[in-house]
Every structure is written in C-alpha cells, then in structure tokens.
Amino acid sequence: MSTLFEPFTLRSLTIANRLWMAPMCQYSADSEGPDEGAANDWHFAHYAARAAGGTGLILTEATAVSPEGRISPYDLGIWNDRQVAALRRITTFLKGQGTVPGIQLAHAGRKASTDATWHGGAPLDAENGGWRTVAPSALPFDEGHPAPDELGVDQIQEIVAQFADAARRALEAGFQVVEVHGAHGYLIGQFLSPHTNHRTDEYGGSYENRTRFALEVVDAVRAVWPQELPVLFRISATDWLTENEEDEREGWTADDTVHFAADLLAHGVDLLDTSTGGNAPRARIVAGPGYQVPFAERVKRETGLPVGAVGLITEARQAEKIISDGQADVVLLGRELLRDPSFALHAARELGGEVHTPKQYHRSV
C-alpha cells in the first residue's frame, strides 16, 4: 500500500489519503452587489473537479473574515450568510466524492486592496475599488504601496472576533476543517515577524508579544469550532531575511517556527501547514523541488505536531517519498493540481494506491 494513499486521522476526522489541495486564490468572486465575496459557478467547478480527481482534502483559497481583509475585491469572503449558502453547495459536493472540505480563514492586512494578479496585482485606490489597509505597524509592503493604518488594541480584538464569527459560519457552510492563515506576509504573519511588527505595546517587541495576536485568533477559533474537528495553521517558516541586509531587524526564522509550533500544539492546533516567505518583497529565496520540506520536517521532529509539506511538489514518487521518509504527514499541492485536477487518481495508478473514483468515471479505472 502506498503511504501517500494511507488514511490520515486528525481528532475524529479521517481523511482518505495524504494528498491535499493547498489554498490558491482564484480572484473570481463578485466585487460588489448582493453576491459580493460569494462563491459562484467558477469556484464550484474548480473545487469539484479536484474532488472528482481523488484529492483527500481541499482547502479553499484565502477566504476573508471581513471586506477589509480581502487581498483583492474579487476574493471569497465569509462575513455574511449569503456567502455561507454559496459555500455550502461546494462542501456538499466535496463530501459526496469522499473529499474533506476545508476552509482557510484570512485577513490580508497591509497586503489587502490590490488588483487581481493577472492585472498586475498593484494596490488599488478608492476610485478603483480599493480601501484603506491596516497592519500592526504603519509600514508599507513595498515601494509604491501605501502605508497601512496601525491597528489599535480595540481594532485587534475586533479582528479576533471576526475570525471566530467566520469559523462559526464555516461550520454552518459544512466545512470539516478550518485553517488559520498566518503565512505569506498577511496580517497574522505581519504580527509574528519583527520585520513588520515595530509595536511597543503588548502586541509587539518580544516573541511572546508578537505571537499574542495569532494565539488569540487560534483560541477564538478553537472555542467555536467543534472539539472533534481539527484546526490547522498555515505559517511561513521563515521570512528568508536571516542573512539579508534589507532591514536591520531580522525577520521570522525557522527557530521561531519550531518554538511557535509547540505553542500552537498547546493551544489546540492539530497540524501545521508549513510554507515560507511572502513578508519581504525582495527576500532572496533559492527555490527548487521540495525546497520547503525541511522546514516541515524539523517541526515534526522537534515538536511532534503533525505537519503538511508544500512547495514545488510535482511528482507522485516525490510526494510518496516525503511521506514514507517521515518528513511530513501530508503533502499539499498547488500549481500541479491546477495543471492536473486528477493528479491523485494518476498518482494512485502509478504507486499502486486507491482513491475514490466517481461512478460516472468507472470506465477510466
């Protein structure tokens, strides 16, 4: 039996295999009107195809907990009940294919209010559908980006409550897994890193203060999420600034991630979805096949927290080896699942595993 296609259990939930779909923004929701931020036919077809292709668990794209938390005006949201109904259509279909539906809850912070990537991803002003952004400190993301407003403590607590409300709605929408997005330089990651967090109050400065907001969000989500269902956390394991002279303040490091993983485990997180980067636009990153896997492996080895590995995992045997060598508990594919929605089915054939195949496709088996 292929280790990639062995079931994996978190709390009371058993996922059919260890080949999962990573969150990838589609920038395809309505940007205004009654269906603002709601999933539509594109999202249904997109996620349904990967479920029919045998993917064990699918995480939605970053789904904003508030309108201001969107990366772009075209992001999915989960701040109202109309959005819940649209998402329920997707989760019902995924479950029918044996795929576990998961949702990534997100707030973009200073990286919000930008255009779709295929339009260049530049910051949007109010005349073009943009809005004021917020962050732990009033530091722009890059040249040509506006400085965000520094969040007050009351505003921070309001966002914590928005994550909790979003988790409640996610449960109503039929999701079985919720992931808190703390990676890629979005709001939670901005608080974690000394590169972007220059505060001097209880939410800045020391490691304990910089991780406070993230843990408050986790606690708020865990408090409303059923105890029998898992909570995941996505992290950028490093800002890739350790030896970078871009800023006199060193960024978030792999050592920080190991420390924080132990904290997350103590706060009820069940798996760390381990990525890197995104917080500093000119960080020097040497990418290659599986280049982020060692960060996941270290967390697993040193803390015992289950981990997911991501990053240029494009071949079935590569994914199999990551699992069989104990480097990670699951792999999450991104671009490769865009290229091949039935990657799991094809990998199962290659490795001698089994995946759910829709009865309508029985002639393909």
Residues 6+ apart with CB under 8 A from 344: 17, 19, 53, 54, 55, 56, 355
Asked if residues 225 and 231 have their Cβ atoms less than 8 Å apart, the reply is yes
Residue owning tokens 């059923």: 226
Would the CA dihedral through 114, 116, 120, 125 be positive or negative?
negative
DSSP 99: P
Catalytic residue among 186, 203, 291, 361: 186
Asked if residues 204 and 197 have their Cβ atoms less than 8 Å apart, the reply is yes
d(CA 37, CA 268): 29
d(CA 176, CA 297): 25
d(CA 365, CA 362): 6
* Structural element, H or E, at residue 268: none
Catalytic residue at 27?
no
- Name which of 59, 141, 145 is nearest 106 in CA terms: 59
Provide the annotated active-site residues.
Answer: 186
